[in-house]
Amino acid sequence: MRFDPTPLHCSRQGLLAAKLAKQLHQAEEATVFLKQYPPSTISFYQESITEQTMISRLLWPLVLLDLHAFLVENTNEEKRNGVRKQKSKPFVSNAVEKYPNSSDQDEDCILEMAFLLDSSESAKNFNHEQQKKFVLETVDRMKGLKLSSGRTLSWRTALLQYSSTVLIEQTFRDWKGPEAFKSRIAPITYIGHGTYTTYAITNLTQLYMTEGTHGSVKIAVLLTDGADHPRNPDIFSATADAKHQGIAFFTVGMTRVAEEVANAAKLRLLASVPASRFVFNLQEKDVVERILKEMKDLAEEGGKKGRPGDDGAPGAKGGKVLGNLDTKEKRVKEANVEHRALKETEVQKAQVVQEVPEVCRAPKECLEIKDLKESKDQRQAF
């Protein structure tokens, strides 16, 4: 069919064809198609196409906004219905493959130990140096401590001095190894003044709460002679709060003064239980070795669980469900039989009671009636 460019309907058909070709990104086809029309018509078409193109450009943002609103509404509806899209995992070229025997629980056992040194007037000179010697020897011996389970023991140490004030000489974050710790602790000097042990314990608890590792074995070694300043706050309440945070307490007496009745009782109350495992004295022989043994036991008991063992042998094959139901029905029937037998026994007992003569059930009343009858017969005979 040949189109005449002059009629209005032909102009509209050409315009629609050109617009369609333009929207389909077929510019060449639209150009060839328009060559069959006069220049005046082509100019009219181009103006119309330009106008339609501007309208299309204005409509595209509206279409995109409508599409965005649709996607948002669809996503919200999926969330309300509990539908979650699985996130695609990025491909990692150097991913480490886990072997069947490996486990997330197969980790190091973490032990965090804090020393509380008495730096009051009672620890002047020799006693203070003896405490430092005990700490340095304990840390030095910790390097060779191994767990019987074969797992690696990862540990770090902190140290606080206390008297009327508390000095945190080494925090857990400052830990850089045993040698760095020993070089830092060796030159410290005592403070002097009164003994306020409660302040040391509260500072210790705060240190564990801010720098402690979750799931670690937490140990506090309190060195004291048991004698506090009269104005020292409630020490037992502070110790209870620390124990509530999972801190195990060792109490180590500095001198024989700690073995006096009142002081010894106080050290036992401050220590964890049983006291036989957690109360020591610096004057005792092999005190470092004994404390390390108890620390090792605590690490074995309270550390993270190790690798699970091998599966055991499979159990015996169970019976069918039908058999279990039959057994249950059988037990119900047996219970019903026993109930009926018990009921029959009770009925028989009731019948036996009813068959007992009146004389047996009320002998005194029967004898009185018999005596009255005999007396009446005797009077009639006279």
pLDDT, tens only, 335-382:
676 667 666 666 555 554 454 444 444 444 444 545 555 555 555 554
* Confidence (pTM): 0.54
Helix (H) or strand (E) holding 296: helix 287-302
pLDDT of 107 = 62
pLDDT, tens only, 188-217:
998 999 999 999 999 999 999 999 999 999
Q: Give the Cα separation of 144 and 137 in Å (integer).
A: 12
Out of 16-25, 122-131, 274-283, 303-312, the most confident range is 274-283
Map out the domains of the chain with their CATH numbers: 118-301 (3.40.50.410)
pLDDT of 208 = 97
27 pLDDT higher than 70: no
Structure-block tokens of residue 151 = 């797992």
Contact 165, 119 (CB under 8 A): no
pLDDT of 317 = 74
276 pLDDT higher than 90: yes
pLDDT of 342 = 64
* Three-state secondary-structure class, residue 238: helix
pLDDT of 123 = 86
pLDDT of 356 = 44
Sign of the alpha-carbon dihedral angle for 47, 49, 51, 54: negative
Helix (H) or strand (E) holding 279: strand 279-281
* Bridge partners for 156 per DSSP: 112
Q: Is the peptide bond before 38 cis (omega within 30 degrees of 0)?
A: no
